[in-house]
Chains A and B, each alone.
Chain A
């Protein structure tokens, strides 16, 4: 049965979803910002594209947006609203609630977008999180700082990635930062900066059940990569290892507590140096940074395709069945490159299954039956990139992309 999807993309993102939906015989309408008009959207696979002008903060006027959708709906029935970028989750929830469409509503969407809401929810569900505080009340903050141990990190409640984070080592630094935030301070939170290895669990969920989870580990935490211009690396961790079992279990607990019904999810955990696993954050989307390629190499699952399948099964009121998966190991490495079109001949091992094709970037995904082989390849490529290609740009420049 053909499903009509209304895809929302405030960034140029998620073309894979559109293509997979088109391949499966569904109809796709796309709403994006005028400034992405010239991006290579798969236009022949889209019924119609609507462009909205974003303000300087990349926000759309929601009145225009809702009026435009109301107009479209007069003649076209929409079955599902799909946010293609993390930033679009709230907008999609608003559209669903306004037009009474099925899927995640505004209250649940906050658990997947607002880092303060997710921490509070996790804590209520007895899931360990690094110590945190909202920045609402001066007395609360003072008490919390007094009882807590630095360094701390002040982060926005709802920007994706690690943009806008500030590390503070003393209470004075914290208060200065809070003063600087002014009226915006309610949109930030503070938490303890915890050292440890960061893991990500990527899942497929249907009817509130977690049907598939792949657990991987970042070889350098995202914070360091973005702020220090390092190399981004991740690797699937050994299946059935104690970490894998613990993180899978915790991941299910998180998604269940947050009310996840049907979607893909990307959830991060930190294995602190004190041996505790803390929940860091979650998002109801396919992981960014080409992690979907890492997942595909290890499991054979294309998360974009499965997401389309999950959404269409809900509409048909049929059960979604997970395809057969493989249990291989894979690794991903990406970095900025000082060469516009870097020479990939150093990455010619048989295990390499995907290469990043993007100006001034280098990257690949490799897969093997042995976890050790993936780690060896990681080291080999990282050393080469470090010595020959590495260049770094400031995080702000990157997000402007």
Chain B
């Protein structure tokens, strides 16, 4: 039996907690005080520790370290797991302080800092859109002179498409930099390349990819966040050229970045201009926005569960085996909804395998052997949602989950 300390500054990861407990482990959860009332899987958690947040929502690191030290006086910790992207640095810091195996601070940056990941990918000969840090005025001017607009300015360390600003002229770009003030060095600029965005969801075991599923966003995350679009994704045709290419690139990337044991969610863009794949970003976590449910419907693999199983095997030093996967197709559609609680009466297609039950949201997942059928259904139900449910909210200026 091993002991897991799971960090989550957001309400997510119940499936991990359950799978981890069911594998016979002791499971501790550390979360924020204000998430106390969320429906955590308390039946599968041995003890929960709540951390008071600071004004900026972040945890007080001293409290976290002291609390962990106190817990460790009487309880040995074998693995520390970051359930949310925002917890990756915290987990890495705790691991380094308490010398617990797993991803350390240097590697964690490759999965959290968008500047670090671009530099690391470029070093590893993985194609990335032209980018520059915002440290030095001369370097920035070089970039603005030599790289075709439009550009996007984005935070290095936040986990969503919010906080991203698009600009078209050097004057606009400098206005943005000036408004960033002291925070400028925490942002980067890159060329905005129009194209189709793909996501690759993986499970890594001892540095090797044990499971990989590539999918395709029908609307780019930027469109969804900024233009109030509808979130849609569909699995890729198996063994198609794109599918193989993405698998290869993701393998290369995980190797270059030093991934060992974790779930990861990696995004690539296939540029309209040259038809090539460019690496966008990666995170050492399960993809958000219910993508794990989509992956589950296509493959029968629950990413949260398998992540827990990989960690469990690592903690006990036993071999991990991925369960046999299916090769079905699945598509997801999620939108904000004008209706508080949708009754889904009109959502009658037999391919619908999952419905989202969340206030002011509507969403379904379709499952079929045929990818074309999934695409058809996505079109059909997008029209339905657009006409009867869809609502759009302005993009948040602060990143959320």
Contacts and interface: CB of A to CB of B under 8 A. Distances in A.
Interface stretch (A130-138, A316-324, A333-341, A383-391): A130-138
A138 B185 contact: no
A120 B99 contact: yes
B76 A70 contact: no
Contact of A100 (B73, B115, B184): B115
Interface in B168-223: 182, 184-185
B106 A99 contact: no
Interface in A318-364: none
A187 B98 CA distance: 9
Contact of B96 (A66, A77, A100, A110): A110
Interface in B111-153: 115-116, 119, 133, 135-139
A138 B106 contact: no
Contacts of B107: 107
Interface in A53-110: 66-67, 70, 73-77, 97-100, 105-108, 110
Contact of A70 (B73, B75, B98, B184): B184
Contacts, number: 75
Given A106-B104, A106-B106, A116-B99, A77 B182 contact: no
A185 interface: yes
Given A106-B104, A136-B69, A186-B98, A77 B136 contact: yes
Interface in B311-329: none
A66 B183 CA distance: 10
B72 A107 contact: no
Candidate in A73, A99, A108, A134 with the most chain B CB atoms within 10 angstroms: A73
Name the interface size band of chain B.
20 to 34
A195 interface: no
A173 interface: no
B54 to A, nearest CB: 13
Contact of A108 (B106, B133, B135, B185): B106
A181 to B, nearest CB: 11
Interface of B: 65-66, 69, 72-76, 96-99, 104-107, 109, 115-116, 119, 133, 135-139, 182, 184-185
7 contacts: A75-B137, A97-B109, A100-B116, A100-B119, A106-B106, A108-B106, A183-B66
Given A77-B136, A138-B74, A185-B69, 14 more contacts: A74-B135, A77-B139, A97-B105, A98-B185, A100-B115, A105-B109, A106-B104, A106-B105, A116-B99, A137-B74, A139-B74, A140-B76, A186-B65, A186-B98
